[in-house]
Amino acid sequence: MEETGRIENFRRAAGLSDKPHQGFVFNDSDVYKWLEAAHTASQADVLTPELDSKLKRLTQTILSAQQPDGYLNTAFMFDEAPHRWQNIRDKHELYCAGHFIEAALASTNGALLSAAQHLADIICATFGDAPDQINAVPGHPEIELALIKLYRATGDRKYLDQAEYFINARGRGLIGAQTYHLDHAPFRELDRLTGHAVRALYLCAAAADLYAETGEPALLETLTRLWERAYTRQVYVTGGLGARHSGESFGQDYELPNAAAYSETCAAVAAICWNWRMLLLTGESRYADTLETTLYNAALAGISLDGDKYFYTNPLANEGGGTSSAHRRAHYFNCACCPPNIARLLAALPQYFITASEKTLSLHLYAAGEIHLPDFRAAIETGYPWEGQVRLTIHTAGAYTLRLRLPGWTRGDAQLFVNGDPREPGMGYAKLSEEWADGDQVDLHFPMPPRFIQAHPSVSENIGRAALARGPLVYCVEQTDPHPERLLVDTSAPVREVPANGMIHLALQAAVTPAGEAWGDELYQPAPPAEPVEASVTAIPYYAWANADPAPMRVWLKTQ
Amino acid sequence: MEETGRIENFRRAAGLSDKPHQGFVFNDSDVYKWLEAAHTASQADVLTPELDSKLKRLTQTILSAQQPDGYLNTAFMFDEAPHRWQNIRDKHELYCAGHFIEAALASTNGALLSAAQHLADIICATFGDAPDQINAVPGHPEIELALIKLYRATGDRKYLDQAEYFINARGRGLIGAQTYHLDHAPFRELDRLTGHAVRALYLCAAAADLYAETGEPALLETLTRLWERAYTRQVYVTGGLGARHSGESFGQDYELPNAAAYSETCAAVAAICWNWRMLLLTGESRYADTLETTLYNAALAGISLDGDKYFYTNPLANEGGGTSSAHRRAHYFNCACCPPNIARLLAALPQYFITASEKTLSLHLYAAGEIHLPDFRAAIETGYPWEGQVRLTIHTAGAYTLRLRLPGWTRGDAQLFVNGDPREPGMGYAKLSEEWADGDQVDLHFPMPPRFIQAHPSVSENIGRAALARGPLVYCVEQTDPHPERLLVDTSAPVREVPANGMIHLALQAAVTPAGEAWGDELYQPAPPAEPVEASVTAIPYYAWANADPAPMRVWLKTQ
């Protein structure tokens, strides 16, 4: 962000640089997302001293960039100041403001929180349907999420009201009545998600927050309707959303091309935000299932194994070079929304695993660790997601309710034991309301044999194909020879688990269609007769693809 | 053309109607193409009295529409007259003029020929690089073909010179230097076809005509280079050209998507024109092979079996409905270039079968019929393209050379007999220079077992797939259950020939991948284990698809 002028833009706004503004009008948001990630990591005390010092300096620079009236956006300063708030559909000022407020709320810095409130105050004063206000809707939702978070932090109701205003003003044609912006109909009348996927998903997350505060039934009904449509018609097996490159948008029902998939990394992050809120609102495990699928696949593929390269789009098939260019992760992008969004997600990851309320603990995702609550302590041992055993050892005596998620991919095969005694786990969340003794052990066993998955026959590209998964992870085949398109997988044959590189790879047998003779210049030639050639093939987790030399990759494999 | 105002436009230009001009500026060309087809058919004495009467009336209307100075284009009359010749890149005036001249040359109407010459004369006077001329290039080639044809009919060299001017002025940036118009480089420097496929192919056909008249080596070198690139990198197995919907254009090498194929019907017609000229120039059978493939597949698919519905684009895969709309032939199009181009092609079809020069007869394509030349008579008996036997019975005595094409798809398996005695046929064209006696019989046998074809591995969509062909015909599978994508074809198993509906269908055995349980709302579910299910499948000629109820169609089938 230094190299691309994003931070220099703040120095300029603070009067510390006379370089012109650099880059897109929304570049501030990338800095704020990093700020949020770093403050979150700082809270967890995991920052290196060097990063901590960078964080402090950057925080100070941003505070200095804020204008006396509370305005903060480096693209609309000096000569551009007259254009402030003139086009919030396209210019992303409120989007940037939202990320600033979220960053401030992730910190313990009082000055930052005051600055965020100052900015929020002028937004509340500026936008609305009063005669002296601008009656408009931001093209890219985000401010709504930030304002409700700010309301929760401060208790000041005007922030909630302002978020509700932005949500309710949408769909009245204030920004062109286009499906791209979900402005073609009021939110509560939508029957499917359309347009720009990230924008739509941020809006849904915000609407879920609004419902959490207002309890308005129409909001939850709408959210449920939109979720059910999206997750039965519009989602990739990886959890990715937004099929089309054109408009970074949702496609038609079942329009889920593999090589041409957009499946933006930011849309995966946004979907996790939305599903998390739906889970908190309803307690329904289907939202946790979707969150987990998205996290371990569509989102995690967005970052390289070495942690410093990113995917903007996440196709499910790629040629790995040859006549088309290989899809590879980049260190950065001109439009760099995805890298710091992955940083925010990973910095905040612990918050998604466990929630607690009065004498009740819910485990949503599984990882080894310790639970420290004022009235409850426990340890979790597990090799999840590579292994399906989870042991919870309780270190507190007394009555406590445990809600333990049974992953949807177990399809009823999960097992539950308390001190070795089998219990009926049920479906969704297993509920254990007991008097616990120190040392009690709860064991979960989620059998995770490799499994083949088939897509609805309306997804025409995947007819006669299967995807391979194990536990929450979707796999892919990435290899040059034979090309994955030449493989015919026997879905009834055993698949072997092979520990490798800290993962579990899957070894499978496949028939191989003939490759033909060495090709000269002819474009078409007689096909060789079929011969029963078999190959041993290794599938790797989808999130790990494109970390070695470029090679053709497929999630969906032809079946015998 | 009456319903869409195309003919009314001519009445208006002739002062017989006061309706405004209707439709695109290039709509005249559709009328001229029909005129050419009808005059050609009239020469062959195959018009019904009703059509003949329509043809006479239409010819007269068009003659009345021509302006006193020779100008003829109904879109640039009255208020629009000042815009004549102002934008020949985009406004198609020379394209329309070319089709008018070609139509006139197809007739025996002296007034029509004079009118065409009058129009050609003002074009020659108007365009060129003299100071008082417009130095420009038509965006859509066609006038070049017409002018060279007019030169051949009249012997007036200025028409040839004018065509050469238009070909040579291209690629100097006069119309934007874009690859779309093949204006990015001089014709003789091109190394591949780019941009709008029909335009590029008309230009190549015209350049071939120019070479025929001038013998300039650089022209033939360029044409050969472009042809070899196109036919080893850019052509569909059907002979279709122009892969991309965007710009109706050629794609990159090996960019040959099946469902998304453009493969415009007009591009197939244009490719036949080009290949025919290359064949006449060189006598090389590869051009006749390509012409035949294109004729029986990419072009013929452009018209329905009942002869009154047309495809504009000719994909090699289609879902036949379901979540996407079925690709079906239409009675007409707003942009209606393809229907009358098919009419021109089919009306002129006989001319492609046989050519003759001094004491030499060349048979390029095969059909039953009779040959009547001043010095040679013969009869041809054959069921081609359904059967590979061709018998030529000679009814003239004396020395004569026969050149008989051995289709490339026979790959050396063709057999030749003279009065029952086997002869070595060679490759390309079998040559028989003999003293013939009345009643001599020449038999050709082209074994046409069904054959599977494989695509170059760089065509990524076709990896692990094969197409089925027999003789010159490419086949496809068009059926609902099982979906063609579920079929796994054994390319070593026998394929049975089944006469049906005046065609030969092909019956093949295929394994069928499991279909899964009846689907509810779930988008993904466990794949059923593979089971060795077999199905009998019928393949039909590609040209005949989309003539029954909509169903999924594939040319390229997965192989075992």
Could you say which of A233, A485, A530 has the minimum Cβ distance to residue B560?
Answer: A530
Q: Do A453 and B323 touch (CB under 8 A)?
A: no
Q: Give yes or no for residue B69 having a pLDDT over 80.
A: yes
Which among B192, B215, B213, A467 is positioned nearest to B204, based on CA atoms? B192
Q: Which residues of A touch B525 (CB under 8 A)?
A: 453-454
Mutate to test the interface with B, among A290, A513, A521, A557 (most CBs of B within 10 A): A513
CA distance B288 to chain A (A): 17
Could you say which of B252, B485, B522 has the minimum Cβ distance to residue A323?
Answer: B252
Mutate to test the interface with B, among A323, A453, A461 (most CBs of B within 10 A): A323
Q: Do A459 and B519 touch (CB under 8 A)?
A: no
Q: Which residues of A touch B454 (CB under 8 A)?
A: 514, 516, 524-528
User: What are the CA-CA distances from residue A447 to residues A385, A392, A403, A412, A453 (Å)?
Assistant: 11, 17, 19, 10, 16
Q: Do A523 and B231 touch (CB under 8 A)?
A: yes
Annotated active-site residue in B337, B338, B461, B478: B337
- Identify the burial level of B146 via C-beta atoms within 10 angstroms of its C-beta, where 0-12 means exposed, 13-18 middle and 19 or more buried: buried
Q: Are B481 and A502 in contact (CB under 8 A)?
A: no
For residue B167, the model assigns a pLDDT of: 98
Q: Do A511 and B560 touch (CB under 8 A)?
A: yes
Report the residue of chain A nearest B229, measured CA to CA.
A521
What is the average pLDDT across A518-535? 86
Q: Do B513 and A560 touch (CB under 8 A)?
A: yes
Q: DSSP of A149-182, one letter per residue? A: HHHHHH--HHHHHHHHHHHHHTTSSTT---GGGT
CA distance A148 to chain B (A): 33
CA distance B530 to chain A (A): 5
A480-522 tens-digit pLDDT = 999 999 999 999 999 999 999 999 999 999 999 988 767 888 9
Give the residue numbers of A annotated as catalytic, written as ranges: 248, 337
ipTM over 0.95: no
Six-digit token string for A325: 């260019």
What is the average pLDDT across A191-197? 97
Report the residue of chain A nearest B515, measured CA to CA.
A464
Q: Which residues of A touch B467 (CB under 8 A)?
A: 524
Q: Do B558 and A558 touch (CB under 8 A)?
A: yes
Angle at B414 between CA B412 and CA B420, to 5 degrees: 140
Separation between Cα atoms, residue A494 and residue B484, nearest integer Å = 27
CA distance A514 to chain B (A): 7
Q: Give yes or no for residue B52 having a pLDDT over 90.
A: yes
Could you say which of A465, A486, A519 has the minimum Cβ distance to residue B463?
Answer: A486
Q: Give yes or no for residue B219 having a pLDDT over 80.
A: yes
Q: Do A514 and B457 touch (CB under 8 A)?
A: no
Could you tell me the maximum CA-CA distance found in chain A, to the nearest angstrom? Answer: 78
Report the residue of chain B nearest A489, measured CA to CA.
B530
Mutate to test the interface with A, among B458, B519, B524 (most CBs of A within 10 A): B524
Confidence of residue B342 (pLDDT cuts 50, 70, 90): very high
- H-helix or E-strand spanning residue B532: none
CA distance A273 to chain B (A): 22
Separation between Cα atoms, residue A28 and residue A6, nearest integer Å = 7
Annotated active-site residue in B248, B264, B292, B478: B248
Q: Which residues of A touch B460 (CB under 8 A)?
A: 319, 322-324, 485, 552
Q: Do B560 and A513 touch (CB under 8 A)?
A: yes
φ, ψ for residue B160 (rounded to 5)? -65, -45
Q: Are B239 and B297 in contact (CB under 8 A)?
A: yes
B418-470 tens-digit pLDDT = 999 999 999 999 999 999 999 999 999 999 999 999 999 999 999 999 999 99
Could you say which of A411, A513, A524 has the minimum Cβ distance to residue B455?
Answer: A524
For residue A516, the model assigns a pLDDT of: 75
Q: Do A523 and B560 touch (CB under 8 A)?
A: no
**Contact partners, residue A361, CB within 8 Å, separation at least 6:** A354, A355, A371, A373, A376, A378, A400, A401, A402, A403
- The letter for the amino acid at B47 is L
For residue B322, the model assigns a pLDDT of: 73
Mutate to test the interface with B, among A224, A324, A454, A553 (most CBs of B within 10 A): A454
Q: What percent of chain B is predicted at pLDDT more than 90?
A: 94
Separation between Cα atoms, residue B510 and residue A236, nearest integer Å = 29
For residue B516, the model assigns a pLDDT of: 75
Q: Which residues of A touch B452 (CB under 8 A)?
A: 526-527
For residue B443, the model assigns a pLDDT of: 98
Q: Give yes or no for residue A404 having a pLDDT over 90.
A: yes
A405-461 tens-digit pLDDT = 999 999 999 999 999 999 999 999 999 999 999 999 999 999 999 999 999 999 999
Q: Which residues of A touch B487 (CB under 8 A)?
A: 464
A343-386 tens-digit pLDDT = 999 999 999 999 999 999 999 999 999 999 999 999 999 999 99
Q: Which residues of B touch A239 (CB under 8 A)?
A: none
What is the average pLDDT across B397-401? 96
- The letter for the amino acid at A520 is G
Which among B502, B494, B487 is positioned nearest to B541, based on CA atoms? B502
Confidence of residue A532 (pLDDT cuts 50, 70, 90): confident
Q: Do A560 and B530 touch (CB under 8 A)?
A: yes
What is the average pLDDT across B61-89? 97
Q: Which residues of B touch A460 (CB under 8 A)?
A: 319, 322-324, 485, 552
Separation between Cα atoms, residue A370 and residue B250, nearest integer Å = 61
Number of Cβ within 10 Å of residue A45's Cβ equals 7
- H-helix or E-strand spanning residue A392: strand A389-394
Q: Which residues pair with B58 in a beta bridge?
A: none
Q: Do A252 and B323 touch (CB under 8 A)?
A: yes
Q: Do B486 and A492 touch (CB under 8 A)?
A: no
- The residue ranking higher by pLDDT, B168 or B324, is B168
Q: What's this model's pTM, rounded to 2 decimal places?
A: 0.92
Mutate to test the interface with A, among B244, B448, B460 (most CBs of A within 10 A): B460
Q: What DSSP state is assigned to residue B235?
A: B
Angle at A490 between CA A484 and CA A495, to 5 degrees: 90
For residue B424, the model assigns a pLDDT of: 97
Angle at A128 between CA A123 and CA A134, to 5 degrees: 80
Q: Do A527 and B454 touch (CB under 8 A)?
A: yes
Q: Do B525 and A453 touch (CB under 8 A)?
A: yes
Q: Which residues of B touch A494 (CB under 8 A)?
A: none
CA distance B515 to chain A (A): 7
* Pairs of residues, one from chain A and one from chain B, whose beta carbons lie less than 8 Å apart: 164
For residue A531, the model assigns a pLDDT of: 80
CA distance B348 to chain A (A): 29
Q: Are B129 and B169 in contact (CB under 8 A)?
A: yes
Q: What percent of chain A is predicted at pLDDT more than 90?
A: 95
Q: Please provide the average confidence, as pLDDT, over all residues in chain A.
A: 96
A414-426 tens-digit pLDDT = 999 999 999 999 9
Q: Give yes or no for residue A230 having a pLDDT over 80.
A: yes
Q: Give yes or no for residue B324 having a pLDDT over 80.
A: no
